[in-house]
Structure 1
Amino acid sequence: MAVTLPYGTEEPALGLAEGDDCTLQINIMYEVIPTIVCTMCLSFGLIYCFFGYRCLKMVLFFSGFTFGLAAVLLLYHKEPVLNSRLSLETQAGIGLGMGILCGLITTLVSAIGYTLSGLQLGSMICLAVLVVVRQFCPLAPEWVPIGSILAVGILTAVFTLLWHRLFMILYTSVLGAATVMLCADYIVGTFTLPDQVYNIFSHDSGRPLCWFDWAVIGTFPLLSAVGGLVQWKWTATELPHKEGFHKKQKKHVPKHRHFVQGGRRPHRKRRPPPLKRYAGDVLAPSYIQSLQERRMGTGSSCSSISSTITHTLIDFDFETGSMVPLTASPTPVCAV
């Protein structure tokens, strides 16, 4: 029996033979919009699984975005009055706005982002375990699923705050594997895993899982382990912003920085401050006086000789850095 859809005709995904409910015969014409969404989610799931820790800021943003969007959708589900009074566009706008606001908060405040990521990690792991356990034994008390999910989520949130790198790698690999698992469930044509999760809280019996459902579920732990191992060994070795921060720190460290034993720096010999020289320091007053005496014709040979010697001494002292005052002139000795 075929079902007419807006984008084509969809045949039943499973050829249900009489007495055999687990015969897989994929004969389905997929709709356009759900197929595009499934393809995008599959791509994001693979990126999360193998390169999630490299895109840490994006992961924190989508962690808050999904939390805010899920909270708004749950509010619409629990309050039918809001669902009936608000139009579809208004509901979508409120959901997107709340999701973007929560995403910005988790991106800017890393502690909140790590806490939400840890809660989601514990919830996904606990839901997968509950789906498997429910196939073998009933979950009789109503508080068992909710209590176990809250307990595991809080525990993983605390561990994520303590060990960021390890549990964020686990979170990205588990979330990517869960997304790929749901996309594979849609491609197979059954899409029964969301119903199984809903039956846990509604306490409905539901249809038991078939062998191909178990095969789809088996991709979840396998892909989580492979993605976590790939990130731990290769893709999550060093973040780009941390690597640049370390390079900046190395640039500011001086190259010639040596320390002796005991942590004390060795004493260096300080150079004496350079002497300030002026243009008038070159000519001594006695030399200027001798020039004046020559000009006036009153000087003697002895005074000229002494002035020459004095000038030579002053020049020598200038070159060698002597601090002899310029007014002090040696007394000439002349033979009478």
Structure 2
Amino acid sequence: MLQNTTDLPELESQLNLTGEGVTLDELLNITTLDSVTTPVPDHACDNREYEIVSGIAAAVCITFGILYTFFGYRFFKAIMFLTGFLFCAVTVYMILSELNVLPLEGVLGCAAGAGVLVGLVAMLIQYIGLFLTGFCLGLSAAAIILVVVEQFTHPYNMWIPIVVYLILGIATGLLGLRFQKAVIILSTSVIGGALALAGIDYFVGLLSMTFYLWDRVIARPSEQVCWFSWLILGLWPVVALAGAIVQWKFTGHEIDHRIVLRREQSSNVQTSRAREKRETQQTRYRHLYQARRVKGDVISQTFLQSIESKLSPAMQSLTALNTEPSNEEESTATRHSLT
């Protein structure tokens, strides 16, 4: 549409409308056609506005991703906690964000609480942590497969990608229980690479590739991402392979989490046995220096000896005490001490 009357001379000069009558409708049609045919530059790949909190979170993801990728197997228990935390927190966050039933603070609180709970369970119960670690490896493989399939055809049924994720996740989770060290190293390398590249994806494309992968999970059509987002996705297997090699050859070499766990269990058993032995010795020591005169009357041996020393020799022979307690006295004293 025309903004002011100064646009009329420009239109007349462009269309050579000198001396001819031009109506207002014709002028409006001309300006509308000009606005439609003029190419509008696409700056979607260059338009980025960052937030401080999101930037800090992305930097933390990059840091933990590097530790995950190259030192995952070395910090076994910490990785079990982080794997359970990330798996549950990300899943809960994405689901609640899609449902849009809570504000952002509520979504973050629910995701963090559920993540901490599952992380503690994965850390304390070894087999659950191993299964979750292998399950995440299957999820990563399913994501790559669905991205490749999306380039040829789009699955319009949401259950198709969900079934693919579940099948691959359960299969790799069971493999993680059988081949523990190999699957842990490979899984931590893949998860760490994804975590680090997700942080980089925020600074490069505002998580465009991350949301593209989430659209593959729920079978939702999505716009094509920029070329550098595809570059980030292509770096994922490269980073994962490099992390697996570094862990297998250097950081995780000659380390077996099963031996460490057995050593900790045996140490706990030895500590418990030493405590029981010490308590038994203390009980015996206490009963050894007690003398029972009548039932229910326990008198200190030193007190009786002090009285005996004050008696005459004739009286000492009559009141000589047996310093060694009998078996019946020991058993009776033990029962009384326990009660």
Aligned residue for 2:155, secondary structure, equals coil
Between 199-208 and 66-75, report the one with greater CA deviation: 66-75
Residue of structure 1 aligned with 2:72, choices 49, 52, 58: 52
- The answer for the alignment partner of 2:51 in structure 1 is 31
Between 37-46 and 235-244, report the one with greater CA deviation: 235-244
Between 176-185 and 200-209, report the one with greater CA deviation: 200-209
- The answer for the alignment partner of 1:124 in structure 2 is 140
CA distances 1:171-203 after superposition (whole Å, capped 9, x unpaired):
100001111221221111342123212322444
Partner Cα separation in structure 2 for residue 217 and residue 75 of structure 1? 23
Residue of structure 2 aligned with 1:69, choices 89, 104, 108: 89
Change (3 A) 1:18 1:232: farther
- For structure 1, the residue ranges without an aligned partner over 5 or more in a row are 1-16, 250-336
- The answer for the alignment partner of 1:331 in structure 2 is none
Of Structure 1 and Structure 2, which has the larger fraction of its residues in helix?
2
AA aligned opposite 2:225:
L
- The answer for the alignment partner of 2:112 in structure 1 is 96
- The answer for the alignment partner of 2:32 in structure 1 is none
Post-superposition offset of 1:112? 0.7
- The answer for the alignment partner of 2:312 in structure 1 is none
Instruction: From the CA coordinates, give the structure whose radius of gyration is larger.
Output: 1
Aligned residue for 2:75, secondary structure, equals helix
Partner Cα separation in structure 1 for residue 112 and residue 158 of structure 2? 32
Post-superposition offset of 1:244? 10
- TM-score w.r.t. the length of structure 2 is 0.59
Residue pairs, 1:249-260, within 5 angstroms: none
Contact preservation (8 Å) 1:69, 1:95: yes
Change (3 A) 1:222 1:67: closer
Post-superposition offset of 1:97? 3.3
Contact preservation (8 Å) 2:61, 2:198: no
Residue of structure 2 aligned with 1:169, choices 176, 185, 199: 185
Partner Cα separation in structure 1 for residue 98 and residue 223 of structure 2? 26
AA aligned opposite 1:229:
I
Contact preservation (8 Å) 2:175, 2:183: yes
- The answer for the alignment partner of 1:205 in structure 2 is 221
- The answer for the alignment partner of 1:137 in structure 2 is 153
Residue of structure 1 aligned with 2:62, choices 42, 64, 77: 42
- TM-score w.r.t. the length of structure 1 is 0.59
Change (3 A) 1:46 1:18: farther
Aligned residue for 2:224, secondary structure, equals coil
Moved over 6 A (4+): 243-246
Aligned positions, number: 228
Change (3 A) 1:165 1:135: same
Contact preservation (8 Å) 1:135, 1:209: no
Partner Cα separation in structure 1 for residue 40 and residue 239 of structure 2? 34
Contact preservation (8 Å) 2:45, 2:226: no
CA RMSD of aligned residues (A): 3.3
Partner Cα separation in structure 2 for residue 244 and residue 115 of structure 1? 17
Post-superposition offset of 1:143? 2.6
The percentage of aligned residue pairs carrying the same residue is 33
Aligned residue for 1:53, secondary structure, equals coil
Change (3 A) 1:116 1:24: same
Whether 2:194 is the aligned partner of 1:178: answer: yes
Contact preservation (8 Å) 1:22, 1:211: no
- For structure 2, the residue ranges without an aligned partner over 5 or more in a row are 1-37, 267-339
Post-superposition offset of 1:135? 2.3
Between 197-206 and 32-41, report the one with greater CA deviation: 197-206
Partner Cα separation in structure 2 for residue 203 and residue 112 of structure 1? 29
Partner Cα separation in structure 1 for residue 137 and residue 261 of structure 2? 30
Post-superposition offset of 1:239? 3.1
Partner Cα separation in structure 2 for residue 170 and residue 240 of structure 1? 15
Partner Cα separation in structure 1 for residue 155 and residue 110 of structure 2? 35
CA distances 1:195-221 after superposition (whole Å, capped 9, x unpaired):
212322444432123322221111101
